Amino acid sequence: MRILSVASECVPLVKTGGLADVVGALPGALAPLGHDMRVMIPAYPGILEKLRNRVEIWADPDLFGGPAKAHLGRVADLDVIALDAPHLYRRDGGIYADAGGDYPDNPERFAALCWAAAAIARDGGGDGWTPDILHAHDWQGGLAPAYLHYHGSGGTRSMLTIHNIAFQGITGADRLSALRLPPEAFDKEAAEYWGNLSTLKLGLVKADAITTVSPTYAEELMRPEFGMGLEGVIASRAKDLHGILNGVDEAIWSPEHDDAIAPYSARSLKGKATNRARLIAEFGLGDVPGPLAIVVSRLTWQKGIDLLAEALPDFIAAGGGLAMLGSGDRDLEEAMRRAAHIWPDRVAVRVGYDEPLAHRLIAGGDAVLVPSRFEPCGLTQMYGLRYGTIPVVAATGGLNDTVIGATPASLSAKAATGITFHPVDHIALAGALRRLVALHADRPVWTTMVKRAMKADVGWHGPAARYSEIYGNLTA
């Protein structure tokens, strides 16, 4: 089957979070099942230069205020369509914002991506390639199913994946015609959202199928605490909604052959101890007698970093250490820097975005902490499993679906792969960290759990089969 995947980011070209990992991994995961997926993203600065064998496949003299061309090319093993529209994507700042905040024309920037994707899905890309399915991601892709609905689909079916419902593409109702939507789209059964427009909502209403990135999150999304205002819309589409876990791209994340670390495996963990020692040295920590916990995360309310700051004193007093990499909210960066100042031998923080360092942390830690208030799937806990770095996670969303928490029952059944806690507050997190310290001290039990975690199935094989099944149902 031919599938056009439409998103705002994609590894290895451009990444701000987990969306990019998943968009970049899906084509390779689906190829063995006979699917031919192309990924369409904006041609942000530097993207076109990275495409091999580049050919122009589509053009529009006026795409939301300026000329645009779509180029097809190869990057690694991916077929990428990069939409070059300089008036929308050639900016000096980040891909969504600069120092002054979000770009005010973000709705038009991603509407343009959706418009071009829908046109290619409907009419083909000029090289004879016409997709059977347009698979859009998050609010940036939300208008693609809508354009197929309002302007003709040519038989192409649509699917929308929710990676994070916190971002809903909300903009003023006065932008309706600027976004090339017909008057009837301003309706509570369509894009209207408390007097505004939501591109995510419209996508959820108009897509032929909806997926999200874990079974638990699919259920959570129908509740007000998680649906963030869209719970009713989601519930009304329950029969078309599927929760499919993400996988780990094992070409990038495997401790047996990871260039960024001293390699190791479940059979020989010697390299893991080397990575721990190197990490402690790199972060300038002293002796850490208990577990060395690590965090690799965006620093936001979602990720529960404030809870960690509160739970930390007892963990440090019990012998634990923390090495952390992240960036985001200034207040959270500051809170973690303060902790590093109080316990310089035990806590160290790097503010920034650093891919190789993320690998060194995942390999060198004893445990990876993910105290998220909500987590659609989460990838770092799965990297943790793969690398024998025990996940300590809130029992929510995909964290709940990927980690088997250590309890007397799960330990005696030889099933535990991590530590889970609930409710998501600093008291429960502190309790989880106490359990971490105790388990880590029980060397035989700990080592068995580490090896078991490394064997957990976190690959793309199973999830890819589920996507394939849904694509099949859509086109049957």
| Residues of this chain that bind ligand ADQ (CB under 6 A) | 17-19, 21-22, 163-164, 213, 246, 296-298, 325-327, 353-355, 358, 375-380, 398
In terms of CB distance, is 26 or 57 closer to ligand ADQ? 26
Write the Ramachandran bin of 328: left for phi over 0, alpha for psi from -120 to 50, otherwise beta. left
Strand ranges for 329-476 from DSSP E: 347-351, 367-370, 390-394, 419-421
Closer to ligand ADQ by Cβ: residue 79 or 333 = 333
Minimum separation from the CB atom of position 93 to ligand ADQ (A): 18
Nearest distance from C-beta of residue 235 to ligand ADQ, angstroms:
21
E strand or H helix that includes residue 358: helix 355-364
Which residue type occupies 268? S
Q: At how many degrees (to 10) do helices 270-282 and 355-364 cross?
A: 120
Q: Which of 159, 58, 52, 50 is nearest to 112 (CA)?
A: 58
Nearest approach in angstroms of CB 456 to ligand ADQ is 16
Nearest to 231 by CA among 301, 140, 165, 171: 165
Q: Are 292 and 345 in contact (CB under 8 A)?
A: no
Distance CA 60, CA 58 (A): 7
Was 15 annotated as part of a binding site?
Answer: yes
**76 SS3 class:** coil
Do residues 413 and 291 lie in contact, with contact meaning Cβ atoms separated by under 8 Å? no
Question: Could you tell me the two tokens for 171?
Answer: 């903009």
* Residue with Cβ nearer ligand ADQ (140 or 164): 164
Question: Between 73 and 378, whose beta carbon lies closer to ligand ADQ?
Answer: 378
CB of 458 to ligand ADQ, least distance (A): 12
Q: State the nearest-atom distance from the C-beta of 164 to ligand ADQ, in Å.
A: 4
Q: Are 159 and 210 a contacting pair, CB within 8 Å?
A: yes
Q: Where are the strands (E) in 213-267, listed by range? A: 241-243
Nearer to ligand ADQ, 7 or 280 (CB): 7
Q: Which is nearer to ligand ADQ, 289 or 459 (CB)?
A: 459
Residue 377 CB, nearest approach to ligand ADQ (Å):
3
Annotated binding site: 15
Annotated binding site for ADP-alpha-D-glucose: 15
